[in-house]
Structure formats: structure tokens, C-alpha cells
Amino acid sequence: MEVQQQDRGHSKCLLDSLRQTQKHNPPSAPQHTLCTLQHHHAPIATQNHTHTTIDHHVSTTPHHNHIPSMPQHYPPTTVQHHTPNTPYHDTPTASHHHISTTPLHHITTIHDHQKMDIKWTPHYGRYMVASRDISAGEVLLREAPLLVLPKLDSNPTCLSCLKRLKHEDWCGCGGCGGPLCHPHCPGSNHMAEECSLLRRLDLRKAPHIDALLKELNILIGPLRLLLLMQESLSARDILLSLESHKEKRPKMAIGNFIQEYILGGLRSRLGLEVNPDTVHHVCGILDTNAFEVSLDEGDRGRALCVLASMMNHSCLPNAQRWYSEGQIVVQASRDIAEGCPILINYTQTLWGTQARATHLSTFKMFLCKCERCADPTELGSHLSSVRCRECDDDLLVPLAESRDHWRCRGCGVGVDSGTVEIMVRAGAGALSKLREADITTASLILEHLKKVLGHSHYMVMQAKQALLHAIVMNSKLQDLASEDLKKAVYLSQDLLDLTFLVEPGLTRLRGLLLYLLAEAHTELLGRGESAEEHKRGKTTKDDVGARKSEGRMEQSLEDGTSLEGKAEKKQEEEESRKGKGERSQVDGKSLEGKRENIRGEGKSKEKKIKGEGESKEEKIKGKGERKEEKIKAEGESKEGEERRKEAKSRDVPISPQHIQRLLNQVKECESILQFDRLLPNVQDLSSRVQVLAAHHLHV
Ligand SMILES: C[S@@+](CC[C@H](N)C(=O)[O-])C[C@H]1O[C@@H](n2cnc3c(N)ncnc32)[C@H](O)[C@@H]1O
């Protein structure tokens, strides 16, 4: 890995290539290199001026108005299987591989040699490609953002370090009265000119009024971008070369919002004389290119990175990005063959097709045609499929030929998309209550959502994630009841199985889930318990999904493999039966097949569990209720201590398979999270697992 900081000697850099590969036209004659541009310090605005003029004459940017044509055969979503010569119809790549720091003080990038290029197609614009074979886990880019901003809908956020602030618990900036975590916050994002302009919002007089804070959050992004462009010509040049969809946006609903609230706010509230086109343009730059990121303290914000924004989107990506120590890090999550696009997900893995499409068309102005979007079953995950109310046994799935019509896979009944939408809206109401829910509330919401939407819907999966969060985040694992730990194991395994279909590879979500799974397992094994008992306590009559998952879990506990491992094993067996020497490529169809196979197995086990489960359920329910009362009476930590003692005295034998599986989970987790801020926690867990293994395996 080569680290280049403030290296002004590199004239050939990926940033040049970005400039040559302009957003609406193929690379043309090189323009002046970024590496010679200078940074100008911001003029400090005087306090008593009435109007500041910021107008960047955006219409003069040197782009041809190339109308995007028909989609090419891009993007391939299972990109690692494409040969370098897939028909992208791109223009020649600018032959600069080396990202370096430009003199523009804002852009600091660190990258490995010759991993990426920028290419261009009329339909997809610029996109990053692998300029050599890349292995899963390789870091492709580290880039300091040009701008960091609060999230639009966030609570009060420190203007300087972007730390999320508790409602009444912040101080106002001595200048503008805007939220700061500390009068001398060490963050560097709240600059003098911004402060001077924000005085006009009169935050000092009424700092805690929600409407004012919302207004501030809406205006701060475009304001910062405008100030940066005024401050530095080189920044201005680069920013204006980014895609903004400025022609389309003013005619859309988002255009009305910008006209009314942002243009109106900048003019009437901050007294800026800004051109409407400029405002639509800068808002377009932000919406199209800024990433929502989890900042170092776990707060959420938006970051604008020039090179990272060259990556196009796929709902089945091969790369991921996150924010760490002031930089965006981009990492390959899967192997990427030379010449294939490097694609990240602009949305969320646990969103259904409609939700993703709405986000992409509203903010990013395109319709995704990836493999996941094209498949009504979402690669067999059924994240958008809903429970059929007619037969109550199977799922309604949209028809491939018309997404306006849905049909039940079991009874064949048809419904229109409006009916499904009503169900989804009903679910969304419940989902909105999930934020910061405790275990009991999250469990109730999960059960409710399952009844409304069925077991596989993305809102149900989000509720599972929230329940897992509530279990592991709100108390120390040592204080948790074994039942809750087993629930955590089951939930993380279920979510991991899902990511195998819709987010395969070394992704952070998978790393986190593995970490939670392994932590809960370790605690259980330390108590002399395994996770098996959970399946008996968990089964309910109408919980088809849980039974299926438990069916899967039972398998994995028996032979020490997850759904992923099991599926791979099955495929290998099948292939060797067929006499094929090598494994075929894993495509969407075969994944669906695997999922179905496992479902089938799950179903037969389901019957067994159902019989056993129903009688035991009552017992466990009674037990659970009594335990709950006890917790209330004695307080959590005392209860935890007693449980540990009780568990130790039971002395349940732990099989070598349990330990081996745990060792594998931790190893995989460590390799996924090798660059993550969670790594020290994973390493600590790894040491505990080693001790456990030494004890139980007598090594
Ligand atoms: C962050 S920019 C990516 C770089 C961009 N292609 C460019 O030329 O500047 C996001 C924009 O790229 C385009 N884009 C990204 N992924 C796409 C996809 N899968 N299909 C179509 N357009 C896509 C859309 O115009 C989107 O608004």
C-alpha cells in the first residue's frame, strides 16, 4: 500500500482522469491538471452586510449536452464472473492509475497502485473499473471528504464535529448560536464565514426550537458547498465536474422543495443573493454524490468525496465503503476481475425493491436494472414478498412481466400492487416505532410485522435486526438471560443467511453479524450451554419463518455449518454426482435453488419442531413470565450472576463441533473487520474463544 499525502509531484492521477472523463462526454483533451491548482483562503464575511453574492455561473461548465442513450449491458451485478471484454461500450480510459493528493488541500487520498481506472458510457456516465484483478478484502481507496455535513433529518448535531447532541444538552456557538458540543469543540467544520451568515437565523434567541434546527440542517449542506466553491477555485472546478442532474431536478418534486425551502431560505433567511440554477446545481451535487456515513463516534452524517463518488451503484455490489478516522474507506467485498466495474450500494441491503427504486429515482435519478431488481423474488430472499391472506401459508410475489400484479405462489390468488402497498404502509407505521425500542417492544413489533407481512419481508428483517440490537446493545452480555442470548444467536444467524443471498462477500454487515453471533455463542458456551435449546422455546404456531430458520439452525448446529456452508456443501455434492469436475458459477438461479432446498429441509424438520414446540412452548412461556418478574424484583446484574452460577452447576457437555464452529466464526469475522474500528473488540473476543477452546478441546 502506498501512502501519498500532500504529494504535489504527481501530475498523472486518477483525479485528472476524472476531469478528462467528464460526466456527459468521453475523455477529451486534458484540461489543466488539478495538481497545479492553488487553494485560496476564505474571505471572512463582515457581519453587517445585507447580501452576499454567490453565483458560480454553472451554465458555463464545459460539458456537452449528451443525451443518455439506451442502457448498455452494464452493470453486471455478479461482476466477478464477467470477463474484461463485457460490452460496456466505454471510451478509452484515461491512462492514469495513480491517485495522489492534489494541491487542493481538501482532497487527500491513499490508495494502492494501479487498482482502478475511471471509464465512461453514455448511459452510466463515469464509473470505476478494476485495472487489475482485485481480491475480496483489498482496500481500494481512502479519501478525506471535501465536506462533511449533518444528516438532513437528524437531531441537533454539533456544527463543528457533527456529534449528535441530546436535546437540551448542548451549548450554542458564541457567534451564531448554532449547536456545538463544546464552546471549544476541536472539530473543524464550522468556519468563520458560515458562522457569520448563520447569525441571521437568530439561533441565539431560540436555540432549542425544533423548526429552527430543522431549517439549519436543510440549509447547512448547500451553504457549505457554496462557501467552499467561493473559497477555492480548484474545489469549485472539481465540484462542478460532478454529476448533479441539474436539468431534470427542477422539474421534479425535489425541485419544488429546493425552490421553496433551500433557495427561499438562503435568500430570505441568510440574505444570500443566489441564482436559482446555482442552488439546484449544488443541491444536485450533494444529493447525487454525498454518502450517508456513520461517523467515528457512531453519529450519522453525509460526506462528499470526489473519487469515491465515481463509483456506480448496484443492489448486489462488489465493494463497500465506510468512514473511519476522517476518511472514506472503499474495500472490495468480493473478488473483482480486471475490467469489471467497482460497484457499491447507494441504498440499504435490508430495503425491498420498491423502497430502493424510490430512493434511487428520487435522489440519484436512475432506475436500477441489476440482477436483484430484475428478480421478483430478490434472488430468493423474498424480501419484498408478502404473506398471502387467502391461503395464509405462502407468499405473494410480483409477476416478472408486470410489477403491478402479484400472485400467491401457493394458492395462485392474484392481487394488485395497491393492495400490497396498503399492507406495506401498515407495516411501516409499526416499523417507525422500532427506533431505540427495548427488547419487549422490539419483540412485539416483530411479531406484529410477521402477522401483517409474512416472515421474509424486509420490514420483518429490519425488525429482527432491531431486536438483535436491543438485545446486545442495551446490556452487558453477561447480564443477559440465556434465552435472550439464544435469541441473539438465532437472529444473527437468520440475518447472516439472508446476507448470503443479497450481500455476499466480506461485507461489514456480515462482519458485525458474525461478531454478535460469536459473542453470544461464547457467552453461552461459557455458561455451559449451547444455542440449541432456543429452537424449542421459540416456536409459535404462526411463525412460519422462525420455524424455517430454526429448521436451518438445527441443521447448522448438528453439523456445524451455516446456510452458506450447507448450500455450498450441497452444491459440491450435486456437482460431483453430476460428474462435473469444477464448481459452477453461483448465479441468482442456483442461489434460489439452494434456498428452496434448504426451505424444503426446513419444512420437514418444521413438523417435528411444531409437535415438540407446542407443548414445550406453554411451559417455557410460564417459565419466561416468572423469570421476567424475578428480574424486575432483583435487578439485572444480580440475576445475571445467579444465572451464571446456575448454568455452571449444570455442566452441559460442549461438543468439539460447537467450539470449532465458534473458532471459524471469529476467524471469518476478524478477516472481514480487519480495518474496522471494531477490530480490538473482535480480537478480544478471539482471545476469549481461544481460552474456551483450550479448555474444552484440551489443546
Ligand atoms: C455518485 S454518481 C456516480 C458517478 C457518475 N456515473 C458520474 O458520471 O459522475 C451517481 C450517478 O451515477 C449514475 N449511476 C450510478 N449507478 C447507476 C446505475 N446502476 N444505473 C444507471 N445510472 C447509474 C446516476 O446518474 C447517478 O445519479
Give distance in angstroms: CA of 362 to centre of ligand 1.
13
CA nearest ligand 1 atom 12, residue? 312
Counting from 1 in the atom list of ligand 1, the atom nearest the Cα of 243 is 9
CA atoms lying within 13 Å on the CB side of residue 291: 29
CA distance 661 to 658: 5
Counting from 1 in the atom list of ligand 1, the atom nearest the Cα of 364 is 27
Give distance in angstroms: CA of 293 to centre of ligand 1.
19
* Ligand 1 neighbourhood includes 364 CB (under 6 angstroms): yes
Give distance in angstroms: CA of 311 to centre of ligand 1.
8
CA distance 640 to 481: 7
CA nearest ligand 1 atom 4, residue? 310
Q: Which of 21, 117, 129, 243 best tests ligand 1's pocket when mutated (most atoms within 8 Å of CB)?
A: 243
Which amino acid appears at position 368 of this protein? C
Cell 456452508 locates to 565
Question: Coil, helix or strand for 2?
Answer: strand
Residue 341 per-residue DSSP state: B
Q: Are 280 and 288 in contact (CB under 8 A)?
A: no
Is pLDDT above 80 for 428? yes
* Ligand 1 neighbourhood includes 366 CB (under 6 angstroms): yes
CA nearest ligand 1 atom 13, residue? 124
Which is it for the CA torsion 123, 126, 131, 133, positive or negative? negative
Is pLDDT above 80 for 612? no
More confident of the two residues 636 and 38: 636
Give distance in angstroms: CA of 117 to centre of ligand 1.
16
Counting from 1 in the atom list of ligand 1, the atom nearest the Cα of 309 is 1
Phi, psi of 293, deg, nearest 5: -130, 155
CA nearest ligand 1 atom 23, residue? 124
Average pLDDT over the chain reads 73
Give distance in angstroms: CA of 360 to centre of ligand 1.
10
Give distance in angstroms: CA of 243 to centre of ligand 1.
8
CA distance 595 to 212: 50
State the cell numbers at 685: 473476543
Closest CA to 464 of 486, 483, 445, 436: 445
Q: Are 251 and 201 in contact (CB under 8 A)?
A: no
* Ligand 1 neighbourhood includes 127 CB (under 6 angstroms): yes
State the cell numbers at 354: 420498491
More confident of the two residues 398 and 436: 398
* Ligand 1 neighbourhood includes 309 CB (under 6 angstroms): yes
Give distance in angstroms: CA of 24 to centre of ligand 1.
11
* Ligand 1 neighbourhood includes 341 CB (under 6 angstroms): no
Is pLDDT above 70 for 65? no
Question: Coil, helix or strand for 256?
Answer: helix
* Ligand 1 neighbourhood includes 23 CB (under 6 angstroms): yes
Please report the pLDDT score of residue 162 as a whole number.
87
H-helix segments, 508-587: 508-526, 533-538, 544-559, 563-577
CA atoms lying within 13 Å on the CB side of residue 573: 7
224-277 pLDDT, tens digit per residue, is 999 999 999 999 999 999 999 999 999 999 999 999 999 999 999 999 999 999
121-175 pLDDT, tens digit per residue, is 999 999 999 999 999 999 999 999 999 998 877 678 899 988 888 766 788 899 9
State percent of the chain over pLDDT 90. 48
For the purposes of burial, counting CB atoms within 10 Å of the CB of 657, is it exposed (0-12), middle (13-18) or buried (19 or more)? middle
Counting from 1 in the atom list of ligand 1, the atom nearest the Cα of 126 is 8
* Ligand 1 neighbourhood includes 310 CB (under 6 angstroms): yes
Mean of the pLDDT values across residues 90-118?
A: 49
Torsion-angle region of 604 (φ positive above 0: left; ψ -120 to 50: alpha; else: beta): alpha
Please report the pLDDT score of residue 192 as a whole number.
93
Closest CA to 569 of 544, 232, 560: 560
Phi, psi of 84, deg, nearest 5: -60, -20
* Ligand 1 neighbourhood includes 312 CB (under 6 angstroms): yes
Cis peptide before 87 (omega within 30 of 0): no
551-567 pLDDT, tens digit per residue, is 333 333 333 334 444 44
* Ligand 1 neighbourhood includes 124 CB (under 6 angstroms): yes
State the cell numbers at 107: 482532497
CA nearest ligand 1 atom 27, residue? 364
* Maximum separation of any 2 CA atoms in the chain, in Å: 82
* Ligand 1 neighbourhood includes 126 CB (under 6 angstroms): yes
Give distance in angstroms: CA of 228 to centre of ligand 1.
24
Between strands 312-313 and 343-344, the pairing is parallel
Give distance in angstroms: CA of 304 to centre of ligand 1.
15
Which amino acid appears at position 304 of this protein? L
For 687, other C-beta atoms within 10 Å of its C-beta total 10
For the purposes of burial, counting CB atoms within 10 Å of the CB of 316, is it exposed (0-12), middle (13-18) or buried (19 or more)? buried
CA distance 199 to 363: 30
Between strands 395-398 and 405-408, the pairing is antiparallel
Give distance in angstroms: CA of 125 to centre of ligand 1.
6
Least confident of 17-26, 214-223, 355-364, 615-624: 615-624
More confident of the two residues 426 and 18: 426
Least confident of 7-11, 367-371, 412-416, 487-491: 7-11
Phi, psi of 414, deg, nearest 5: -110, 145
For 143, other C-beta atoms within 10 Å of its C-beta total 23
Cell 482522469 locates to 17
Least confident of 118-127, 425-434, 599-608: 599-608
Can you say how many angstroms the Cα of residue 447 is from the centroid of all Cα atoms in its chain? 25
Mean of the pLDDT values across residues 94-105?
A: 33
More confident of the two residues 661 and 633: 661
Q: Which of 314, 366, 369 best tests ligand 1's pocket when mutated (most atoms within 8 Å of CB)?
A: 366
Give distance in angstroms: CA of 341 to centre of ligand 1.
12
Question: Coil, helix or strand for 249?
Answer: helix
Q: Are 301 and 148 in contact (CB under 8 A)?
A: yes
* Ligand 1 neighbourhood includes 90 CB (under 6 angstroms): no
Highest mean pLDDT among 15-24, 32-41, 358-367, 623-632: 358-367
Q: What is the four-CA torsion angle of 119, 122, 126, 131, rounded to 10 degrees?
A: -20
For 412, other C-beta atoms within 10 Å of its C-beta total 11
Angle in degrees, CA 110, 111, 114, rounded to 5: 150
* Ligand 1 neighbourhood includes 313 CB (under 6 angstroms): yes
Closest CA to 48 of 228, 227, 264, 271: 271
CA distance 191 to 187: 10
Give distance in angstroms: CA of 615 to centre of ligand 1.
55
> 467 has which bridge partners?
none
Burial pattern 46-76, b for ≥16 Cβ within 10 A else e, equals eeeeeebebebebeebeeeeeeeeeeeebbb
Closest CA to 306 of 324, 293, 288: 288
Closest CA to 460 of 479, 434, 480: 434
Query: Is the confidence metric ipTM above 0.85 for this complex?
Result: yes
Give distance in angstroms: CA of 124 to centre of ligand 1.
6
CA nearest ligand 1 atom 22, residue? 124
* Ligand 1 neighbourhood includes 121 CB (under 6 angstroms): no
**Count of residues for the chain?**
699
CA distance 377 to 358: 18
Sorting pLDDT into bands at 50, 70 and 90, what band is 108?
low
Please report the pLDDT score of residue 200 as a whole number.
93
For the chain, report the end-to-end CA distance as a whole number of angstroms. Answer: 37
Q: Which of 61, 364, 368 best tests ligand 1's pocket when mutated (most atoms within 8 Å of CB)?
A: 364
Sorting pLDDT into bands at 50, 70 and 90, what band is 604?
very low
* Ligand 1 neighbourhood includes 452 CB (under 6 angstroms): no
CA nearest ligand 1 atom 9, residue? 243
Residue 396 per-residue DSSP state: E
